């Protein structure tokens, strides 16, 4: 599936050092007391949207925490789950899931394989989601209008308890984690120069969707940049006899990470500009790249094994057996089940992170140490001006 494929040193200049979090001014601000979380993104934060729309993941996905497949591309919880826990809110139900969903404290519009730009590919051909950011934002618009109508029409408390209160929208947190698939598609299909040229278009579309969310009532935004795509094990394990300079000092594909960093730098600049335009909104830019690269480059010091070990799946030159599937490796049939030591590996399936890695990353971003402005998520609703 394409999501598995496409989610496949500028860092020292543009990535901040990990610090202790909230700056001296921010830590005295009151907590935001968010009413809900509305999330937009790809498989990094999809809690079951693409599974509801197409086919659910098979075991052993979800086994570490949920004890069953739970619509997540991991053995357990994702970063968005740890965000919800940190804020004392329930895990987000996917907007596309009609069974057992509870939207009282938010909804998840993310779908695995999603892009910022409109896709030209098909889910059935290569796993690209038919629900890009633009459609996710449209889904939110419909969600907002319809839940408000049914909440106000409800005659009893029971009918309202799974719906958000319309008057609470202004206190919701809007989280966005999308763009990695756009970068990955460019790596696969464009020259390096064409990839660079495409960045402005991708970021422009992202910013336009943030504006629409603002017009729909969103005021607090927590925006993740894209991660080090050149460090995904499914990519790195296929590199054989690289030329000098192809890999960086940690074994990641340097050119792929450079494109990701250029995307991030452009995104950050446009967010800073947007703060001046949306003066009553709080737009927090979160350096997810720095957190993930720190974990990968110091895996053993953080209690993990070698950074490129894949827990569920077999991948190498000439073969891919994805997590939960059967396949052939060097003439032998294998079943891609979970490794026995999932809590000590960073990569769950060669593309997505394990629950243990997601928890480590969440811990290092939620305190604001990698945010611009440097504010923790609990106080991210406070407007700090156009730039710091």
With 0-12 / 13-18 / 19 or more C-beta atoms within 10 angstroms meaning exposed / middle / buried, residue 331 is exposed
Tell me how far apart the alpha carbons of residues 272 and 385 are, in angstroms, rounded to a whole number. Answer: 9
With 0-12 / 13-18 / 19 or more C-beta atoms within 10 angstroms meaning exposed / middle / buried, residue 334 is middle
**Does residue 371 contact residue 92 with C-beta atoms inside 8 Å?**
no
Q: Across all residues in the chain, what is the average pLDDT?
A: 92
Cα of 121 vs its chain's centroid, Å: 21
Residue 159: pLDDT over 90: no
C-alpha pair distances (Å), 306 with each of 247, 248, 267: 16, 16, 31
Indicate the pLDDT class of residue 23, thresholds 50, 70 and 90.
Answer: low
DSSP calls for 160-179: HTTS--GGGGGG-EEEEE--
**Residue 128 DSSP class:** -
Q: What is the pLDDT of residues 99-135, one digit of tens each?
A: 999 999 999 999 999 999 999 988 898 899 999 999 9
Place of tokens 């618009």: 141
Residue 151: pLDDT over 70: yes
Q: What is the pLDDT of residues 353-381, one digit of tens each?
A: 999 999 999 999 999 999 999 999 999 99
82-116: burial string, b at 16+ Cβ within 10 Å, e else: bbbeebebebbbbbbbeeebebbbbbbbbbbbbbb
The neighbouring-strand residues paired with 322 are 313
Residue 346 CB neighbours (<10 A): 26
Indicate the pLDDT class of residue 20, thresholds 50, 70 and 90.
Answer: low
> Does the predicted model carry a pTM greater than 0.75?
yes
Q: Which residues contact 215 (CB under 8 A, 6 or more apart)?
A: none
Per-residue tokens: 138 = 């449209």
Catalytically active residues are 43, 349, 352
pLDDT the model gives residue 388: 42
Place of tokens 């079943």: 335
Strand segments, DSSP code E, in 243-355 are: 282-286, 313-316, 319-322, 326-329, 332-335
**Does residue 87 contact residue 77 with C-beta atoms inside 8 Å?**
no
Q: What is the pLDDT of residues 260-277, one digit of tens each?
A: 999 999 999 999 999 999
pLDDT the model gives residue 370: 98
Mean pLDDT value of segment 175-181: 98
pLDDT the model gives residue 90: 98
Q: Pairing state of beta strands 282-286 and 220-224?
A: parallel
Instruction: Specify the range with the lowest mean pLDDT, choosing from 26-35, 45-54, 96-105, 219-228.
Output: 26-35
Q: What is the pLDDT of residues 45-77, one digit of tens each?
A: 999 999 999 999 899 999 999 999 999 999 999
Place of tokens 């495409």: 198
């Amino acid at each position: 599936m394409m999501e598995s494929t496409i989610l496949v040193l500028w860092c020292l200049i543009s990535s901040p050092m990990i610090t202790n979090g909230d700056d001296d001014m921010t830590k005295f601000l009151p907590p935001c007391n968010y009413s809900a979380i509305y999330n937009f993104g790809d498989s990094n934060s999809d809690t079951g949207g693409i599974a509801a729309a197409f086919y659910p993941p098979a075991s052993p996905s979800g086994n570490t925490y949920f004890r069953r497949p739970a619509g997540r591309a991991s053995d357990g919880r994702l970063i968005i789950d740890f965000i919800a826990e940190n804020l004392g809110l329930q895990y987000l139900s996917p907007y596309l899931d009609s069974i057992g969903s509870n939207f009282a404290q938010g909804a998840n519009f993310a779908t695995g394989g999603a892009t910022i730009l409109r896709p030209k590919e098909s889910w059935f051909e290569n796993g690209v989601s038919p629900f890009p950011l633009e459609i996710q934002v449209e889904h939110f618009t419909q969600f907002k209008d319809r839940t408000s109508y049914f909440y106000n029409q409800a005659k009893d408390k029971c009918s309202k308890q799974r719906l958000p209160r319309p008057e609470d929208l202004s206190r919701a947190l809007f989280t966005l984690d999308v763009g990695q698939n756009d970068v990955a598609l460019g790596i696969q299909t464009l020259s390096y120069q064409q990839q660079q040229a495409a960045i402005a278009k991708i970021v422009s579309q992202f910013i336009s969707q943030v504006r629409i969310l603002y017009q729909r009532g969103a005021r607090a935004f927590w925006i993740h940049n894209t991660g080090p795509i050149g460090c995904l094990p499914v990519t790195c394990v296929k590199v054989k006899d690289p030329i000098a300079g192809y890999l960086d000092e940690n074994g990641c594909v340097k050119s792929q990470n450079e494109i990701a960093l250029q995307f991030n730098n452009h995104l950050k600049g446009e967010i800073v500009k947007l703060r001046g335009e949306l003066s009553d909104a709080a737009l927090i830019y979160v350096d997810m790249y720095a957190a993930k690269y720190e974990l990968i480059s110091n895996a053993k010091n953080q209690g993990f094994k070698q950074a490129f070990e894949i827990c569920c799946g077999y991948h190498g030159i000439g073969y891919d057996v994805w997590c939960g599937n059967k396949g052939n490796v060097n003439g032998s049939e294998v079943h891609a089940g979970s490794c026995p030591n999932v809590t000590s590996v960073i990569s769950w399936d060669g593309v997505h992170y394990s629950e243990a890695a997601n928890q480590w990353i969440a811990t290092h971003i939620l305190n604001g140490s990698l945010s611009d402005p440097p504010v923790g998520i609990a106080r991210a609703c406070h407007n700090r001006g156009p730039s710091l």
